[in-house]
Chains A and B, each alone.
Chain A
C-alpha cells in the first residue's frame, strides 16, 4: 500500500487520444496546453495517414513552451481482415501508436493476433456489436495489443445509454483483467471542456471495475510503455527486441 502511494506520487500521465484537429494550429495548441496544464506529459494525436509527416511536424513546431510530448497516432477502421493487413503494412512504420477500431469480428480477431497493433478499440455504444470476448482477449494477451476505451462517451451520455455503456465496459474490463490484457484509458476529447485531470480519468476508469492502481496504470504506465516501445522500434538502429546497432563501419 505504501509502495503504491509512492509510485502514484511519482507517476507521469499520458492521454493517447486527444482528438484535436491537427490542421487547426490554434485549436490544437490550446488543447495541448490545457492538457499539459492538467498534468499530462504525453499526448497522442490522431493524424491522417496521407499527411502524417506534415501534420506531425506541425505538432512538433507548436509554439508553446508548456506543451508536453506528442506521439503520432493513427486510427484504422478497416472493413475486412485483408484491408487491415494492407493498412498495417503501409502505415506501421510511420506512426508511433496504431489503434484499430474493430467494427466486425473478423477485423477484431486479426487485430488481436497482429503484433503490429498497439490498441484495440470497440464500439462501446452499440452493445450488440461487442467483439471483445474471451477468445479475443486470449489472442490480445499473446500479442502486444492493449484494450483502449475513451472517457468522452461517459461524459456525453445520460440515462439508459450510459447504463448500457458502463455495463459493456465493465464486461470488457473484466475479460481483459482475466487475461492480463493491458488497459489504456484516454479522453477522446475534441474540445477543451471534455478534458479531465489524469486522476479524475482514473476515478472514472474505476467505474468500470478497475482497482485504483490499475486505473492509474491505465492513464500512465500502460500508454507510456506503448509509446516507449514503439519509439525504440522506429528508431534507426533498431534490429530486434534488446538488439540495437550502436556503431557501423570498419573500426567497430
Chain B
C-alpha cells in the first residue's frame, strides 16, 4: 500500500501531548468523513517534536486529500485555539526534512 508522510507545523500557545494531538486529528477526520472514512486513512503518528512545534503523520495515498482537509479544519488542541499547517508531503520520511526526524 502506498503511503504519504505529512510534516505539520502546529501553532498553539501550549503544545498538547502526543495523545491529545493525534486524538484531535482523528476527531477531525471522524467529524468530517465519519468512521468509515477515518478507517480508510491508515493514520499513524510518526514523530512529535514539542520544541519545534512540529509533527509527522503517515496516511494512505488514497486518503491524502481527506487527511489534508481534516488537518486544515483543526481549530483547537486540548481546549486551546490552534491551527495546524502542512509544511511538506512526501513519499518518504527522509525527504521531508534535511535531517530525518525519527521517533
Interfacial residues, chain A to chain B (CB-CB below 8 A): 38, 154-156, 158-159, 162, 191, 193-197, 199-201, 203-204, 206-207
Contact = CB atoms under 8 A, between A and B. Distances in A.
Given A38-B85, A204-B73, 11 more contacts: A162-B31, A191-B81, A193-B11, A193-B75, A196-B72, A196-B85, A197-B85, A199-B86, A203-B68, A203-B72, A204-B69
A103 to B, nearest CB: 27
Interface residues of B, number: 15
Given A193-B11, A193-B75, A200 B68 contact: yes
Contacts of A206: 65, 69
A156 B86 CA distance: 20
Return the 3 tightest CB-CB contacts between A and B, nearest first: A200-B72, A203-B68, A193-B81
A113 to B, nearest CB: 35
B68 A156 contact: no
Contacts of A204: 69, 72-73
Nearest to A38: B85
A204 B75 CA distance: 14
Contacts of A207: 32, 69
Contacts of B63: none
Contact of B86 (A162, A193, A200): A200
A232 to B, nearest CB: 34
B83 interface: yes
Given A203-B68, A206-B65, A197 B86 contact: yes
B83 A195 contact: yes
B96 interface: no
A30 to B, nearest CB: 13
B83 A193 contact: yes
A191 B75 CA distance: 12
A193 B75 CA distance: 8
